[in-house]
Chains A and B, each alone.
Chain A
Amino acid sequence: GQQLNQSPQSMFIQEGEDVSMNCTSSSIFNTWLWYKQDPGEGPVLLIALYKAGELTSNGRLTAQFGITRKDSFLNISASIPSDVGIYFCAGIGGATNKLIFGTGTLLAVQP
C-alpha cells in the first residue's frame, strides 16, 4: 500500500534535547499534516501546512512544507517527557486526493 517514507523509525533522547523527523514522497502533495498519537488513542493534529515553503510553529513544534512539495519535516525543541508518543506525517493530494500516512516515528524521552 501507498505510504510516505518517514524517518527515523524511532528516537530515544534525553529531556531537553531537540528532535527532528521528516517525511518524503515520490508524489506531490497539496497539504502536509503532522499528528501525535498516544497509546490507545486516535492521532491528534499538531500542525497543518498548505503552501510549499511554509514554516509553521505550534509552541515548541515547528514544521515545514518542502519547496518541492514532496517532503516535510517536524522539529520539537527542548523535549519534555510528555512528548513521548508516535508522530505521524500525512499528505493529501494526488489524483485521488487521498489522505496518506507516514510509517510513524516513535519518540521516547528520558527524564
Chain B
Amino acid sequence: DGGITQSPKYLFRKEGQNVTLSCEQNLNHDAMYWYRQDPGQGLRLIYYSQIVNDFQKGDIAEGYSVSREKKESFPLTVTSAQKNPTAFYLCASTIGRVYGTEAFFGQGTRLTVV
C-alpha cells in the first residue's frame, strides 16, 4: 500500500541534544513538508521541499534543519538551538503539480524534551 510513514511515533530527547525525525513516502510525490503542531493549535510550516536536493524555509524554520537527498525521504533534525522543541511533528507530501493535487500526512511524531 502506498503511503507516508513517520518514525518514531514517540521520541524523548534530553536538552542540548539533536534529534532526527524520519519521514518516508512511496507515493512518488515530488513535494514534502514538515509541520509543527502545539496543543490546541493549528499546523505551522517548518520546511518544505518541492524537488530533490532543494528545500525552502517555512514560517518557523529556526532551530530545525532538513535534507532531501532522495525523493522518498525528507528527514527533519531538531537541533539544540530550538528553544521549545516539545511538540507534535507532522510530515506531508503532495504530487507537486499546481492543479489536481492532494496532500497526505504521516501519523506524526510526538517529541518530548526531558
Residues of A whose CB lies within 8 Å of any CB of B are 1-3, 30-31, 33, 35, 40-45, 48, 50, 88, 90, 92-93, 96-104, 106
Contact = CB atoms under 8 A, between A and B. Distances in A.
Contacts of B85: none
Nearest to A45: B102
Contact of B99 (A30, A42, A104): A30
B42 A101 contact: yes
Interface stretch (B13-21, B55-63, B66-74): B55-63
B42 A42 contact: no
B43 A88 contact: yes
Contacts of B56: 96
A110 B96 CA distance: 39
Interface residues of B, number: 33
Nearest to A42: B105
A98 B101 contact: no
A48 B102 contact: yes
B105 A44 contact: yes
7 contacts: A2-B59, A3-B44, A31-B100, A33-B102, A40-B88, A40-B108, A92-B94
A40 B102 CA distance: 22
Given A2-B59, A99-B48, A30 B98 contact: yes
Nearest to A48: B102
A97 B106 contact: no
Given A30-B98, A99-B94, A101-B35, A45 B60 contact: no
A65 to B, nearest CB: 12
A40 B111 CA distance: 12
Given A45-B104, A101-B42, 15 more contacts: A1-B45, A31-B100, A40-B88, A41-B107, A42-B90, A45-B102, A45-B103, A88-B42, A97-B31, A97-B50, A98-B48, A99-B31, A102-B42, A104-B41, A104-B42
